[in-house]
Amino acid sequence: MSSEDFPGWHGTTIIGVKKGGEVVIAGDGQVSLGQTVIKGTARKVRRLSPGGAEILVGFAGSTADAFTLLERLEKKLEATPGQLQRAAVELAKDWRTDKYLQKLEAMLIVSDGAQIYVITGAGDVLEPEHDVTAIGSGGNYALAAGRALMDSDLGAEEIARRAMAIAADICVYTNGSLTVEKIKA
């Protein structure tokens, strides 16, 4: 089977919502290979504690690639305690310039409660304009739903859960098996 014939891994919707003094990152559990669901309960949202700081991370893309990036991010955070933005920028620079890292296919949403960023392999460190961001195959659906719910009386967790439910109803690579982590600002 040639690489063109290989159906490719799909899956993952991750959303980050900042509202009411907290940040919530939620992710679904589906991993698909072509049209087959390989796993429905993958855990793509994690809590890191480099140097005692609480950091939430959600990832979309290749799992092995994402774990490589999580390890690098943790090292950057240990080198720059309490400076999430600086650690994120340093990771993005390495990711863009290192020949090994350039091949990694993943995206990250990271937060320390005060800040929330999307980090990409193109060297981007993006802070959402409307305190909601999403990545992955169902990311655009979750983002649209999350933005629509931001003006409601709902808290960050309920917005994330409802947005993920909408994404799961639309995107065949997203399911309703959620991992939800939250952190206070």
| 98 dihedral zone (left: phi>0; alpha: psi -120 to 50; beta) | beta
* Helix or strand holding residue 116 (H, E): strand 116-119
Measuring CA to CA, which residue among 21, 57, 49, 26 is closest to residue 184? 21
8 A C-beta contact, residue 24 and residue 160: yes
φ and ψ at 46, to 5 degrees?
-135, 160
**Rounded to an integer, what distance in angstroms lies between the CA atom of residue 65 and that of residue 125?**
18
Residue 85 in tokens: 């933005």
- 63 as an active site residue: the answer is no
Number of H helices and number of E strands within the chain? 4, 12
Which residues are the active-site residues? 12
